[in-house]
Amino acid sequence: MKKITVIGTGYVGLVSGAGISDFGNNVCCSDIDKEKIELLNKGEIPIYEPSLDELVNRNVKSKRLIFSNNVEDSVQSAEVIFIAVGTPEDKTGNADITTILEVAELIGKNLNNYKVICTKSTVPVGTGKKIIDVINKYNQNNIEFDYCSNPEFLREGKAVSDFLHPDRVVLGVASKKAYDYMKDVYRTLYINKTPLIHTTIETAEMIKYAANAFLALKISYINEVANLCDEIGADINIVTEALGSDGRISPKFLHPGPGFGGSCFPKDTKALIHVAKKYDLDMNTIDAAIKTNNYQRIRMFNKIENLLEGNLKNKKIAVLGLAFKQETDDVRESAAIDIILELINREVSIKAYDPVANDSMKKLIPDIEYKLSWQSAVKECDAVVIMTEWNEFRGMNLEELKELMFTPIILDTRNILNISELKRLEFKFDNVGRK
């Protein structure tokens, strides 16, 4: 087993560091953010992810996992270094790798013996070569090192399970020595017959973008089918059940809704298009997926407007669900943001509630009323909009909901409510593809 340093304690870095330590390695999660490191050393997890606290605490207790803000020392003491810092979207739609290259410079300056430098962050094709060039520039003593592209495939809300039980591990490395190092890091998975895909650096980088773009395509496709179901009176739930039973298609990511969000799909689809443009190539299907996703949010707002017969001014509307999906507090690119901002523009009074994402949304949109329960959010409202598929909303007592509301009007953008019950209780309602 190896001595590992993970640079970056955000979503990918913390899950990866804790997971790698659970495989039996000694891991130091390192970050320049002193406040975050202090929280972690106190046993506090700065992000919401089911089972992550248990995974972290187990490995801290076993002394396989530590946290440090001394990044230079953690680089020098490691055999394998994982780069897991953010690559946000820049103004051109490409991934901003500024922080990645800053980390590469720091690593180059602190190389003291052979190491494998491994990137977990999602980066455009060709970034590996740039990282190698930067490390070489600052590697004044010509210390030997190898580079590996090891993309993550973590679903927010299921990241711990995804890391500990992956479908595959992709290792883009050029040397057998580096591949053997990485096999040792993932030995627990290797001996359990998890596929290790050994490929080039560029191919590994491409695999990550291709996977996310394909999943985004599936979501946009099923949303378009759901929209057509709305118009012709078909039931999208039965359509997706039939599609998903086809082994060539599978049921995953065939859930219609307000459009994809989060930190990956919106950013990665745009980045892939940006890479293709450098080679004078069009990515027509992916471009269409992005356009469909943007349109889907407009369509959801139009549904609200139709339910209220165009009379939105001074109405009170409850927005239930702020995270881009359930089991996370991540509101990045959440469809709820677009809906809330458009409602504000129409002079609507908004009460919002999410089981875990209130504070995250408050940082982006501070001037609306946040509630601590769905009951307090819907009380005396003219309409309710469900934006996230939390089980808490699936299990709402619809009779209680009707009693609390001023008028029983509801838009279910996640298709989680019982239509028969809504009809029985005489709600005025809409959903996505189930008219």
Active site residues: 264
| CA–CA separation, 302 and 239 (whole Å) | 24
| CA–CA separation, 111 and 103 (whole Å) | 12
| CA–CA separation, 116 and 148 (whole Å) | 7
Structure tokens at 391: 């089980």
| CA–CA separation, 295 and 416 (whole Å) | 22
Strand partners, 199: 172
In angstroms, how far is CA 306 from the centroid of its own chain? Answer: 31
> How does DSSP assign 257-272, residue by residue?
SS---SSSHHHHHHHH
In angstroms, how far is CA 141 from the centroid of its own chain? Answer: 39
Any idea which residue has 């707002």 for tokens?
A: 301
In angstroms, how far is CA 400 from the centroid of its own chain? Answer: 33
Q: 244 Cβ partners below 8 Å, 6+ apart?
A: 250, 251, 252, 254
In angstroms, how far is CA 138 from the centroid of its own chain? Answer: 33
What length does the chain have?
435
| CA–CA separation, 213 and 270 (whole Å) | 9
Residue 312, helix vs strand vs coil? coil
In angstroms, how far is CA 350 from the centroid of its own chain? Answer: 26
